[in-house]
Amino acid sequence: MGRNKKYVISLTDAEVRKLESVKRKKTTTKTIKCRCQILLDLDEANGKPSTQQQCVKTIGVCYATVYNVIMYFVDGGIERALYTGRSVNSDNARRKVDGRAEAKLIEIACGPAPDGRSRWTLRLLEEQAKVELAIPVGKDAIGRALKKTNCDLTKKNTGTSRQKKTQHS
C-alpha cells in the first residue's frame, strides 16, 4: 500500500492539446519538451498516470526536475511550469560592463594618471567611469573587467617582494 499523493495533476483537454502542440514544434527546446512530457505522463484525468519514478526513468531526467515541474504547475499552471524565467546568476544575465564600456575603461586606465597621483586606483577609475560612461559601474566590476583583459594597471610594479640576503662570513 503506497502513500497518498500530495499533488495531483489533472489536465483539461485544452491543456493536453496545448502541451502536445508545444511538444511538436521544431523551435521548442529540449527542456520544454521534457516538461511537457512530464505533465502528460503524470496526468490523472486522461488515462493511467505514470508514477514520478517512472517519469524519471522514461524521460531521462532527475527526480528533482520532476518534482520542480509538479510544483511549478501547482503554483502557477501550465505557463509557469513550461516557461520559467532565467536566474539572475545565470551566464545569460546582463553584464554591467559590456564591450563598449570595457574598451572605455581600458582607455582610461592606460591613459595618464590624474593630477597629484602616480597611478590609477579602482576608486579613481570608478569616479572617472561615472563621468564618462552612461551607466554607473562599481569598482568590483571594473576590477573584474581589467583582470579579464590582463590590463590590471591599478597595482604599482615594485619588483620582487623577496630579496636575497647576502651572508657575510
Query: What pLDDT tens digit does each residue of the chain (169 aa) get?
Result: 455 567 888 888 999 999 999 999 988 888 899 999 999 999 888 778 888 899 999 999 999 999 999 999 998 888 888 887 766 666 545 566 778 888 888 888 888 888 898 888 889 988 888 888 877 888 888 888 888 777 755 455 444 434 444 445 4
Contacts of 156 (CB under 8 A, 6+ apart): 118, 119
Alpha-carbon span 158 to 169, nearest angstrom: 30
Q: Provide the pLDDT for residue 24.
A: 92
Mean pLDDT (the chain) is 80
- Give burial (CB, 10 Å; 0-12/13-18/19+) of 153: middle
**Res 91: pLDDT:** 54
pLDDT of residue 150: 77
**How far is residue 85's CA from residue 56's CA, in Å, rounded to a whole number?**
23
Rounded Cα distance between 109 and 111, Å, is 5
Q: What is the pTM of this model?
A: 0.52
pLDDT at 86: 65
Output the pLDDT for position 7. Answer: 81
CA dist., res. 66 & res. 119, Å (int):
55
